[in-house]
Structure 1
Amino acid sequence: MKRPISALPGAIGTCAALCASAPLALPLGAVPITLQSLIVVLAGALAGGAGVAGVIAWLGLAALGLPVLAGMKGGIGAMSGFSAGFLIALPLASRLAMRWQPGWHWRPTLLLMLAGHGLLLVLGGAVIGLRGGDLAALAVLLPGALVKSLVAMLLLWLVGRRFAKPA
């Protein structure tokens, strides 16, 4: 299926959007609340594999030490803390979002976006739990995941109306 955003602009745009969102983080616990999960699911849905490639490129820049992670952090040390599970899950959530198709109704779109954010919370929570962190702290992230899923659903619904094949 042809995606609304083509390959090269999709990969570069995803990586750039993730980098630009680095300073926009609310440090409300062990893991900050960011817009990066919203960008990741939208990238997978709109740009397909190119969006996933952009997420992986962004993680590569972070591994090289560039300050592109939440709170303008970078490097392997910043990637191996409580956020490690979330970082591992980001390309997976983007890949999951690739299932979206223009023309989908809002319900399956919302369910897919919730599934992507749920995947992030499950893998992120698993690493937090393995490192002895407080899993109850994940409750702070739930409202944000819901709001970001709703925003993604609305944006995809609007884009999907434009790109859906006529019946």
Structure 2
Amino acid sequence: MAIEVGAKLEGKVTGITHFGAFVDLSGGVTGLVHISEIADNYVKDVKDHLKIDDVVKVKVINVDKDGKIGLSIKQAIDRPEGHQPSAPPRERFGGSGGGAGGGDRFPRGGGDRGGRPFKSGAGKPSFGKPSFEDKMSRFLKDSEERISSLKKNTESKRGGRGAKRV
């Protein structure tokens, strides 16, 4: 029996790894269900959803030249026409989204990467996107500030700058 892309088959889970599960189809042919194709929601551990010897319905999503078969459990589920799975919104960097705007666009404090609001440099009016030069000068300024702050902190911990050692 030839395995064709789009075919829905039943198979038996024969192996579980951290990246997915191997499913034995008919005639000793084995395919892989990647962890991202197991369920509509986020799958942290495959073992929370599947066990060895489980019989699952899978859809063949690709067949490589070298014989590797890609399978999907979530695509094998028959859904009503036009129905999209409702996935919960993802949070960036885990946690509560942190900072001023909660789960805002910026993960730490409602500004650019340093938690400070972005300011366009060189006194130019900002009409939407800042220019590359503005971004670069801002980056260099922030980088220099962070490095000097880091140096101050590490020198004081090491006993540098005239601190007395015991």
| TM-score, length-scaled by structure 2 | 0.23
Larger-gyration structure (1/2): 2
| TM-score, length-scaled by structure 1 | 0.23
Question: Which structure has more RCO (C-alpha within 8 Å, separation ≥ 6)?
Answer: 1
Query: Greater share of strand residues, 1 or 2?
Result: 2
